């Protein structure tokens, strides 16, 4: 039995997230089907994260085991020939049998994209969150600085979370503008359910003056979900990088 690690990228618009679900097509389902078709085995694929419906991935990793190992390049070319256009395999490599796409990861990096142009951009509509006023980058940058550190981040998590340990370490958080697109980037040793979308919503409220940066640490320590920003839509969220 040989374990392989795939590096893939996908547009999550048409999918109900990564994990197999009974009520919709998921990326994991497609990967299992196509790998089984390619190898003529029943293949189970394990992902590095459970991205929600509509969330994209610039870089996503998943591993699988097979009894009939093909050359690594065969998985790249073979899968790309049969996968739908919104999923692509970037690379493939053999890994140790105890390697785990999720639990071996040291950190993950997500980005959330805003668009604050004066006129709509039809090419960005599906992949950024359009906001009606110019974002205040300075205020958002100050907010990002306050996110870095080890905290109980339950205030930035949905009530649907299934974990009891809500302490995470945010290793970096920043914001940058490129034209009319503003990108919030955050890396941590782990994320709570909806954490990045709520952090982005809070950053938006900070930009709009609804939340003051002076109150951020107090808001975190309060653990009161209603004091943080809204859970922003998933279509502007991307898993950007995974560090092993």
Q: Are 89 and 60 in contact (CB under 8 A)?
A: no
Residues in Cβ contact with 207 at an 8 Å cutoff, skipping those fewer than 6 apart? 135, 136, 139, 140
- Which sign does the torsion angle of CA 125, 127, 129, 133 carry? negative
Q: Which residue in 130, 132, 192 sits closest to 159, CA to CA?
A: 192
Active site residue 52: yes
* Strand partners of residue 88: 9
- Residue 207, SS3 per DSSP: helix
The strand pairing partners of 57, in sequence order, are: 10, 239
Q: Give me the residues paired with residue 188 across strands.
A: 108, 170
| Spatial distance between the Cα atoms of 142 and 206, rounded to a whole number of angstroms | 9
Which residues have a Cβ under 8 Å from the Cβ of 157 and sit 6 or more positions away?
A: 166, 192, 193, 194, 195, 198, 225
- Is the Cβ–Cβ distance between 63 and 99 less than 8 Å? yes
Q: Catalytic residue among 11, 52, 85, 205, which? A: 52
Helices within the chain (DSSP H only): 27-39, 72-82, 137-147, 195-208, 216-222
Kindly list the catalytic residues.
Answer: 52
């Amino acid at each position: 039995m040989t374990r392989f690690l795939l590096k893939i990228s996908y547009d999550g618009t048409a999918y109900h997230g990564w994990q197999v679900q009974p009520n919709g097509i998921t990326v994991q389902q497609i990967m299992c089907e196509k790998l089984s078709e390619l190898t003529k085995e029943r293949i189970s694929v394990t992902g590095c994260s459970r991205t929600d419906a509509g969330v994209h991935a610039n870089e996503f990793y998943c591993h699988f085991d097979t009894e009939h190992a093909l050359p690594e390049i065969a998985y790249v070319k073979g899968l790309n020939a049969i996968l739908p256009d919104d999923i692509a395999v970037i690379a493939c490599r053999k890994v140790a049998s105890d390697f785990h796409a999720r639990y071996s990861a040291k950190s993950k990096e997500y980005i959330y994209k805003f668009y604050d142009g004066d006129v709509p951009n039809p090419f960005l509509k599906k992949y950024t969150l359009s906001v009606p006023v110019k974002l205040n980058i300075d205020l958002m940058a100050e907010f990002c600085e306050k996110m870095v550190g080890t905290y109980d981040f339950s205030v930035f998590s949905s009530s649907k979370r299934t974990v009891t340990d809500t302490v995470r370490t945010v290793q970096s958080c920043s914001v940058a503008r490129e034209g009319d697109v503003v990108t919030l980037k955050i890396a941590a040793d782990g994320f709570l359910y909806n954490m990045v979308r709520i952090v982005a919503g809070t950053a938006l409220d900070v930009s709009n003056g609804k939340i003051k940066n002076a109150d951020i640490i107090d808001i975190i320590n309060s653990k009161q979900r209603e004091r943080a920003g809204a859970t922003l839509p998933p279509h502007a969220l991307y898993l950007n990088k995974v560090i092993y």
